[in-house]
Amino acid sequence: MAFADYQLEIYLQGLSGILPSLPMSFAELEAKAQAAMSPGMWSYVAGGSGNEHTQRVNVTAFDNWGLMPRMFVGANDRDVSVELFGMTLPSPLLMAPVGVIGLCAQDGHGDLATARAAARTGVPMIASTASVDPMEHVAAEFGETPGFFQLYTPTDRDLAASLVHRAEAAGFKGIVVTLDTWITGWRPRDLSTSNFPFLRNHCLANYTSDPVFRASLQQTPEENPQAAVLRWVQIFGNPLTWEDLPWLRSLTDLPLIVKGICHPDDARRAKDGGVNGIYCSNHGGRQANGGIPAINCLPAVVEAADGLPVLFDSGIRSGVDIVKALALGATAVVVGRPYVYGLALGGVDGIVHVLRSLLAEADVTMAVDGYRSLRELTPETLRRVT
């Protein structure tokens, strides 16, 4: 079945008087999610750094690129599968790691819901270190869909090794090391309400379930939750340097992907250091304001990666955005806020709807514009729009 068939499914259901219960546009999805989420949760997910200029231009920068349509192609069948780290995925879409995804679900277990949506759609989840449920419970819900584990590297190297080895044992297929979040970005929305969920003992299950972390405490996290939180504060932020890369590489034989790369020199040096994938991202504008739209950084990062897979996120709001990022060289595209809003509105079904909608729009766009496979989406298929 083609991803584009989702629209036919919706139209056919309409003949029986069944209309979509979830929004079809991002603007409506965002508005309804705001109404469904608590003010604190909404500000944490929707907000960004500073006046959120970088967050906004991440989105609007996609408007500067247009896809050139080609006719008489007969793009009736499209191949949107992708080879990634030795695996064949049905689509080039992944779900970004979201540290508070657990709290975005009505039942408080959004990590599990996201994993179940991955199982239903074949869209891999990148599970965050900051989780309501331990990584083993999350991985158990993946079914046949591969998953990746995102590592916030703690200053305690033994704990870092323990987290990675647990991810290996749980069946994760790669480790994504986030580089730009050893310190929290300046987020006025959250600062104005002193809203930092982790200090309130939220989303720390991967730490409190870890034997190395527990051994560093005088009392168990169950006996003294506040002491566990204080220990987390002490070890969370590790300002990694290039000298740390050989150690990170030594922790696992799984594919190692480094997240937050925007400068081509950093991509080259990471490749020389033995990583298996580059993840071009500015954290969706959440960590630093005054930056460059991530999509503008992508082409140079792809060139510098010189054949290494390049994942991309920041500003993806539609299927058309996915197509443009692929044309600019991304191997796979990672979506964040849209699926979070789907979760807040409809749980597993909400995420599945958002993912199917994104993939359907991308597939329809390729069909209409005459592109039969991802290989045909190259920088030459795009034109600058001013």
- Active-site residues, by number, are 283
**Dist. CA 102–CA 115, nearest whole Å:** 11
Alpha helices in the chain (DSSP H): 5-14, 26-36, 39-46, 53-60, 110-121, 135-139, 157-170, 188-191, 205-208, 211-215, 225-235, 245-250, 264-272, 294-305, 319-327, 337-369
Angle of CA points 128, 99, 232, to nearest 5°: 90
**Dist. CA 296–CA 72, nearest whole Å:** 31
Residue the block writes with tokens 């799984």: 254
Tally Cβ neighbours within 10 Å of residue 248. Answer: 21
287 with 207: CB under 8 angstroms? no
Residue the block writes with tokens 């959004």: 110
**Dist. CA 257–CA 176, nearest whole Å:** 5
Residue the block writes with tokens 């990634």: 84
Tallying the residues shown for the chain, one arrives at 386
Instruction: Find residue 266's DSSP bridge partners.
Output: none
123 with 146: CB under 8 angstroms? no
**Dist. CA 337–CA 78, nearest whole Å:** 27
Q: Give helix then strand counts, H and E, for the chain.
A: 16, 12
Q: Which residues lie closer than 8 Å to 147 by C-beta, 6 or more apart? A: 115, 118, 124, 125, 126, 127, 138, 139, 171, 172, 173
**Dist. CA 172–CA 125, nearest whole Å:** 10
Amino acid sitting at position 65: W
